[in-house]
Amino acid sequence: MDTDRYPEAKKLYGAIGVDTDEVIRTLSTIPISIHCWQADDVGGFEREGAVLAGGGIQTTGNYPGKAGNIEELRSDLERAFSLIPGTKRLNLHASYGDFDRVFVDRDEIEPSHFDSWIRWAKKLGIGIDFNGTFFSHPKADDGFTLSSKDPEIRTFWINHAKKCRKIAAYIGKELGSPCILNTWIPDGMKDIAFDRMGHRAILKDALDEVFATEYPHEYMRDAVETKLFGIGSESFVVGSHEFYMNYAAHHDKMVCIDMGHFHTEEDISDKISSILLFHDEMLLHISRPVHWDSDHVVLTTDKVKNVARELVRSNKIRNVHIGLDFFDASINRIGAYVVGARSLHKAILTAMLEPLGRLKTYEEENKGAQKLALYEALSTLPFGDVYNEYLRVNGMVNDFEVMSSFEAYEQEVLAGRVRV
């Protein structure tokens, strides 16, 4: 691909006060936490051939090449990482531990089950984030985990959550980079809920118990993920947006905002400033809902661009932990990673290439039409030439060539995997 166009693009952006070299350097340092669960359809490795079961989330499709064990998953991630520019982290679920083919229940997981992931991350020079797995388990079948009225079930999940915090602190300490632990639970009801207050009161107490132990900030940090509804929790989700916003504010925890967990017409970018004025940090799950929380592969949509703009304009991008959360089992899974992650980079690059000072001044001087005119004028600048330069300095093939890279991997590696 012709990269000679970059000097001209640099000049054009320079004319509006944007230093594209500086933008490219900065973008390369923004960490994106890549989720482990796209490569195996949220199956995990607790049991041979594990599949996502229950919990209000679902994968559809049976495209060949699903990762069936840790070695395959790591190989897939390494290939995906080789096609994704910039700084990467791995976002791991508790069910992806290295259990050595022995069944270890969720309340019995230990830091040692993640040693081989830590070694792998050290080899790659990346950090790891972590998630408790409160679904795909018989003790979650009745629809409640931490907010269950059954003390035995509740205690089981409280113990799981405590173990996850211990593991996250261990991972963060070992890797010298804080491990962001996200807690998402599927708890809710399909139909009319009578005792909303009761379940939320139980969840509040359970979380208090889970968070009773303090871990150093430089090892691990907690986030709680809000949600509107799921499959089987259409009428009532215990861990709603209001519940966790309040819990996090009162207990100095991060909120995790997933782009699929709101009404589909809602633009979540507007929530960011309200959250970051009251919290130092937050976690984002970048996803693409289609009609519902469908976890489609992220594209460079207006919504994603608006989120990126908010992070850049507020100058808070370093305070926000950015993770991907999508899973599509109907397409080449490595391709899904690559398209999703590159799209997010494009959205952030779009935001970083805006002449922030000038747009802000127009707004403050009540020059609304000038603000719109400049905003529109930006859409004619050669964004693609800067993006291609960003890929080039990161040693990546461009977007027109990237499909042959994951197609080659499909032929060499994925095609040989037995379809289950």
Please give the residue ranges that form the binding site for Zn ion (CB under 5 A).
258, 285, 325
270 in catalytic set:
no
Q: What angle do CA 175, 177, 179 make, to 5 degrees?
A: 95
295 is catalytic: yes
Half-sphere exposure of 257 (CA within 13 A, CB side): 23
User: Closest Cα partner for 181 from 143, 217, 140, 156?
Assistant: 217
Shortest separation between residue 383's beta carbon and ligand RNT, angstroms: 30
Active-site annotation holds for 173:
no
Exactly one of 46, 76, 310, 325 is catalytic; name it: 325
* Annotated active-site residue in 10, 137, 261, 345: 261
Comparing CB distances to Zn ion, the nearer of 325 and 389 is 325
225 is an active site residue:
yes
Cβ 327 to ligand RNT shortest distance, Å:
7
Q: Please state, in angstroms and as integers, the Cα–Cα distance from residue 391 to each residue in 337, 396, 397, following that order.
A: 16, 5, 7
Q: How far apart are CA 410 and CA 63, in angstroms?
A: 11
The answer to whether the CB of 193 falls within 8 A of the CB of 236 is yes
Q: Which two tokens stand for residue 190?
A: 């399909």
Strand, coil or helix: 272: helix
Q: Among this protein's residues, is 261 annotated catalytic?
A: yes
**Minimum distance, C-beta of residue 363 to ligand RNT, in the bound complex (Å):** 34
Instruction: Give the one entry of ligand RNT, Zn ion, none that residue 385 binds, where binding means its C-beta sits below a cut-off of 5 to 8 angstroms depending on kind.
Output: none
Q: What is the DSSP string of 295-333?
A: EEPP---HHHHHHHHHHHHTT-GGGEEEEE----SSS-H
- For residue 187, indicate whether it is catalytic: no
Q: Which residue in the shown chain puts its C-beta closest to ligand RNT? A: 184
Is 328 one of the annotated active-site residues of the chain?
no
Residues in contact with ligand RNT by the rule CB under 6 A: 37, 42, 57, 131, 184, 225, 227, 258, 285, 293, 325
* Nearer of residues 225 and 410 to ligand RNT, judged by Cβ: 225
Smallest distance, ligand RNT to C-beta of residue 37, A: 5
Query: Looking at the DSSP assignment, which residues form a beta bridge with residue 257?
Result: 284
Residue whose CB is less far from Zn ion, 174 or 258:
258
Catalytic site residues? 184, 225, 227, 258, 261, 285, 293, 295, 325
